Amino acid sequence: MIIEKAVLTRKIDAEVKRIIDTFRTAVKYMILFRGKGIEFAGLREYVPGEDDASRIDWRASLRSQSLYVREYEEERDLDIFILLDTSSSMLFGSQGMTKSEYASVIAGVLSYAGIDSGDNVGFAMFNRSVPIFLEPVNDVYQYYKILDLLTNESMYGSGANLKLALDRVTTYLGPRTFLFIISDFLGLGKGWETSLKMASHKFDKVLGIMVRDLRDLEPPAAGYMRFYDPFTGRAAAVKTDKVRKRYAKYAKEQYDQVLAAFRSSNAEMLNVLTTESFAKQITRYFERFSMV
């Protein structure tokens, strides 16, 4: 099920107000303190009482016999790039919203916040291929393009190939990138872990946002249920009482494998359930930057 544009817009408006300040703080931190965001702009004469004496350039001052301070400019060239999983497993939902609907709200909120903060925002969707790739720009029309894509039913379905998507992103984007990967991280295909390492090595930051439904973690104790494989379409009737523990164990092992891949790549992971407020989760994540 794909979210309607009017519903999506309302949800984005409600959530973005709660994250915008902490989002700006996090982006400013990345620009100023990751060692790449300050550019030397030149020298000017020192003004006692106004300038920080620690910024005096003593070598230049000795040459000119006057005190000079170094001036810097803040680089505002950080790209926010959102990579969204639109494969068949994302179309599942048992708690009111499907994972794809919930993920669409996340993508919309991050897009809006990035553009509002003055940063370039890019966007791509991936399933078995990468049907959409929007290069990062700071333009309000980019946000509306993303909204159109998020509510376009033809963009959803089929298998998932995260390796292909990461390879394309890593090839075409510059190092000053904050990459968000929004996915349930199920059925991603082979080789994506190596591609994740390459992306994390190149970009300033990579954050995976794992969107899960409660039933991804454990089935209900409800007697017989019919299960569908979203990638093959195969179905089977299963007595959930007999498989709940095995199902939960497998789900935990699969989650641990994904988390280990992110940690070994020096990338980060944020977990959200479709029953939770995304704004609360992402705000907690961004607030870490304000405490540095």
pLDDT in tens, 202-252: 999 999 999 999 988 887 766 666 666 666 667 666 666 667 788 889 899
The pLDDT of residue 28 is: 66
Higher pLDDT, residue 34 or 35: 34
pLDDT in tens, 63-99: 777 887 776 555 556 899 999 999 999 999 888 899 9
38 has a pLDDT exceeding 60: no
Nearest to 274 by CA among 97, 12, 88: 97
Query: What average pLDDT score do residues 259-265 get?
Result: 97
The pLDDT of residue 222 is: 66
Architecture field, domain 5-31+76-213+269-290 = 3-Layer(aba) Sandwich (3.40)
Residue 119 phi, psi dihedral angles, 5° rounding: -105, 160
Higher pLDDT, residue 25 or 265: 265
The number of angstroms, rounded, from the C-alpha of 42 to the middle of its chain's C-alpha atoms is 36
Residue 260 near residue 269, CB atoms below 8 Å = no
Residue 279 near residue 209, CB atoms below 8 Å = no
Pairing relationship of beta strands 120-126 and 68-74 according to DSSP bridges: unpaired
Residue 246: partners with Cβ closer than 8 Å, 6 or more residues away = none
Q: What ranges do the domains of the chain cover?
A: 5-31+76-213+269-290, 38-74
Residue 87 near residue 127, CB atoms below 8 Å = yes
The pLDDT of residue 74 is: 53
